[in-house]
Structure 1
Amino acid sequence: MKMERLDQSDMHGSIGSIPDQMEAAWEAMAGRTFPDACRNVNHVVLSGMGGSALGAHLIQDVFCDRLRVPVTVVSDYAAPSWINERTLIVLSSYSGGTEEVMAMAEHGLSRGIPMIALTTGGDLEAFAGRHGLPAVVFGSELNTCGQPRIGLGYAVTYLLAMFRQLGFVELAETEVTSALMLLRETNPVYTAPGEENPAHELASATRGKSILIMASEHLTGNAHILANQWNENAKNLAVWFAIPELNHHLLEGMTHPAEHRDGLAAVLIQSGLYDSRNRRRHEITRTLLEKQGIACSVVTPRGETALEQACDLLLLGTYASFYQAIMNDVDPSPIPWVDQFKRLMASRDGKV
């Protein structure tokens, strides 16, 4: 079968393990404590790149009305000037070797800023050990394909449980177990390719197109995640935008070049939990995009709460990007252009 032939690292199986990743991470964090210096802060900075930062993007938006402290994601070498001893830096690197995160670690150490490491090991675990930093070091047994972007069950849940333990967000255990129950129900639906599978249907509807992903409110972080997954897994261009912000510029950008419109597909992520004005904005945006000849798909995640909907969309979107890879006739796991870039960065002259 084509899927088994192309999926050499069994990414499909790893995606199916995302609910198990979440459950394992939640259980592993039960009773975990952190120093008071990490708790008594007025800002959190998550230092991470790519898949290692995606959990923070989801949590920022799902819990924006419940987080006790603001959370800023920094995906760069340099730290903002306002970081001080009342800031907690979470150093997030799945591999433990991300150079931007290690640069932030050195900066935080030089300034005496409280830090927590979140990693599977590598240089980051060693750094935390040398300097006595609290570290959440986890195994990746439930992500057998080895790609950090498919360890999202770990990324979201370890960070969310950490924030709960630190008192940054009030979260009942029943909220997490309800989200897990929903994923246990939907996972079998998304696992089997076919017309009854919304993830496979989404991949089919956007096949051969560059994808514009649009979301609002608690699902904006999911749009960011979905774009990353589509780029890396499907090797297919995808970008994301937030409604209502995009309504102030993007629709005009669809005008030219007119011949490119056939190559675009919009994915609008709708939710009954949105503000009624944003729900109307989604409907009008779709109408105007279709008037401009741009194909549109509407995705409405399952779930009664913001967390449930975000988790369902996380799973559905990751499967959809996987199915798109198979339709594009590529193995979803290898990232040859990213790997080549890293090799060039590591070389002296940066020449190909």
Structure 2
Amino acid sequence: MDRIQKSVLLLFLAISMLVANIEGKYSDGGLRVGYYASTCPSAETLVREAVSSAVSSNKRSGAGLIRTFFHDCFVEGCDGSVLIDSTSGNSAEKDAVPNQTLHGYQIIDAAKSSIEKVCPCTVSCADIVAIAARDSVELLGGPRYQVKTGRRDGRVSLASRANSDIPSPLDGIDALTRSFAKKGLSQSQMVTLSGLHTVGKASCGAFTNRLYNFSSTASTDPSLNQAYVNQLKAACPQAASTAVVDMDPVSPQVVDKQYYVNLVANKGLFTSDAAMFNSPQTQAQVVNNARLPAKWQTDVVSALIAMGEVGVKTGTYGEVRLNCRVINS
């Protein structure tokens, strides 16, 4: 990237951060730890019970809840809009291409149902998503942290917005950086949050571009570790795009530093993963995270908290949905 390109990118990032702050009529205002201490003191306990039950049965559930939190915050802000069902007159976020493999909605429903029995019309679905993601991180071996609550639920959910706003696994470093900057998140936070790809599974269709017909001169991406290529091809025959593989082939059910170790070994699954290590802008951070797992755990807490404040609706904005799948009438 030459000097002019760098200057343009820096200007874009600065403008994006300014826009994110201007949109701060929603941002962060009114969020606090213990928001429900007097109105629904059992809220976080009830969410944790639902998440713990699901994760104990299938650890993939925890990874799904973390991803749901990310996808919610990147469209309309962290407002529970990803939970809304489509109707005959509206194609909602959950039916957008990036969200069609999301799972864990029933866990959010279970938590909401338990809470409504003791604290009706009090706890937002958006807060349940944020708490569930926090609990999932911890239950999968990651750090525990306090969640600020007080989000209200949005009333807008559009598949078109999800298709445009959620970063693609095919993106390079510049496109990824722009996507995060639009949400007020830095490139460093982007690399930190990407480390959560250490848990969960991915459909073959999200990365087979690197395995078959990669370019006119190479059938596979030459930056991929050849042993890993062989492993992925065995799991993903060219026609089997609906199969799934672990995003981290080493410790796929544990929130740890392994994602970064994999990147250094040229075993990043997505094009977007490989971009983190192959780019001179972010390579040093990837290497440091592989070497210093304690620092990454500290950083990921800060990044998750920051992401959880993106475009939040508080006060008189939004609503507290009675059913997480349906906007209040």
TM more than 0.5: no
Q: Report which structure shows greater RCO (CA 8 Å, sep ≥6).
A: 2
TM-score, scaled to structure 2:
0.30
More strand by share: 1
TM-score, scaled to structure 1:
0.29
